[in-house]
Chains A and B, each alone.
Chain A
Amino acid sequence: MADKPMIIGTSGSHLEPITDAALWNLEKQELEGVWQIRVDLHLLNHDGNIIDAASIAAIVALCHFRRPDVSVQGDEVTLNMSGQIKQVIINIKEVIWYTPEERDPVPLSIHHMPICVSFAFFQQGTYLLVDPNEREERVMDGLLVIAMNKHREICTIQSSGGIMLLKDQVLRCSKIAGVKVAEITELIQKALENDRKVRKEGGKFGFAESIANQRITAFKMEKASIDTSDVEEKAEEIIAEAEPPSEVVSKPVLWTPGTAQIGEGVENSWGDLEDSEKEDDDEGGSDEAIILDSIKMDTGIEVSDIGSQDAPIILSDSEEEEMIILEPDKNPKKIRTQTTSVKQEKAPNKKPVKRRKKKRAAN
Chain B
Amino acid sequence: MEEEMHTDAKIRAETGTGSSSRGPGCSLRHFACEQNLLSRPDGSASFLQGDTSVLAGVYGPAEVKVSKEIFNKATLEVILRPKIGLPGVAEKSRERLIRNTCEAVVLGTLHPRTSITVVLQVVSDAGSLLACCLNAACMALVDAGVPMRALFCGVTCALDSDGTLVLDPTSKQEKEARAVLTFALDNVERKLLMSSTKGLFSDAELQQCLAAAQAASQHVFRFYRESLQRRYSKS
Q: Which residues of A contact B (CB under 8 A)?
A: 1-3, 5, 7, 38, 40, 42, 44-47, 100, 134, 199, 202, 204-208, 211-212, 215-232, 234-236, 238-239
Tell me whether A211 and B48 are in contact (CB under 8 A).
Answer: yes
Bound Cα distance A160, B44 (Å): 32
Tell me whether B48 and A45 are in contact (CB under 8 A).
Answer: no
Tell me whether B38 and A44 are in contact (CB under 8 A).
Answer: yes
A228-B79 CB under 8 A given contacts A208-B53, A217-B231: no
For B7, the chain A residues whose CB sits under 8 A away are none
Q: Which of A216, A229, A235 interacts with B20 by CB under 8 Å?
A: A229
A228-B215 CB under 8 A given contacts A3-B59, A5-B81, A221-B31: yes
A40-B28 CB under 8 A given contacts A231-B212, A235-B207: no
Q: What 0/1 readout, one digit per residue, does chain B (194-235) give for beta carbons within 8 Å of chain A?
A: 000000000111011111100110010001001100110000
Question: Within 8 Å of chain A (Cβ to Cβ): is B149?
Answer: no
For B137, the chain A residues whose CB sits under 8 A away are none
Chain B residue at smallest Cβ distance from A212: B34
New contact pairs (15) apart from A217-B36, A225-B27, CB-CB < 8 Å: A1-B57, A3-B41, A45-B39, A205-B2, A206-B124, A208-B32, A219-B34, A219-B230, A223-B10, A223-B12, A229-B22, A231-B215, A235-B210, A235-B211, A236-B207
Tell me whether A5 and B27 are in contact (CB under 8 A).
Answer: no
For A134, the chain B residues whose CB sits under 8 A away are 40
B155 to chain A, nearest CB (A): 10
Tell me whether A207 and B124 are in contact (CB under 8 A).
Answer: yes
A1-B41 CB under 8 A given contacts A206-B124, A218-B33, A219-B226: yes
Chain B residue at smallest Cβ distance from A208: B48
Q: Which residues of B contact A (CB under 8 A)?
A: 2, 4-6, 9-10, 12-13, 20, 22-41, 44, 46, 48, 50-51, 53, 55, 57, 59, 79, 81, 83-86, 117, 119, 121, 123-124, 165, 167, 203-205, 207-212, 215-216, 219, 223, 226-227, 230-231
Tell me whether B84 and A40 are in contact (CB under 8 A).
Answer: yes
Chain B residue at smallest Cβ distance from A235: B207
Main secondary structure of the interface of B (DSSP, over half): mixed
Closest 7 CB pairs of A and B: A219-B227, A235-B207, A229-B24, A1-B119, A218-B34, A1-B57, A225-B27
Tell me whether B13 and A215 are in contact (CB under 8 A).
Answer: no
Tell me whether B28 and A223 are in contact (CB under 8 A).
Answer: yes
B123 to chain A, nearest CB (A): 6
A129 to chain B, nearest CB (A): 18
A226-B219 CB under 8 A given contacts A220-B32, A232-B20: yes
For B39, the chain A residues whose CB sits under 8 A away are 45, 47
Tell me whether A232 and B22 are in contact (CB under 8 A).
Answer: yes
B135 to chain A, nearest CB (A): 12
For B209, the chain A residues whose CB sits under 8 A away are 231
Tell me whether A231 and B34 are in contact (CB under 8 A).
Answer: no
Chain A residue at smallest Cβ distance from B62: A3
B49 to chain A, nearest CB (A): 10
Bound Cα distance A162, B30 (Å): 52
Bound Cα distance A134, B39 (Å): 11
A13 to chain B, nearest CB (A): 16
Bound Cα distance A38, B48 (Å): 26
Q: Which of B22, B27, B31, B50 interacts with A231 by CB under 8 Å?
A: B22
Tell me whether A216 and B219 are in contact (CB under 8 A).
Answer: no
For B6, the chain A residues whose CB sits under 8 A away are 206
Bound Cα distance A14, B29 (Å): 41
Bound Cα distance A226, B212 (Å): 8
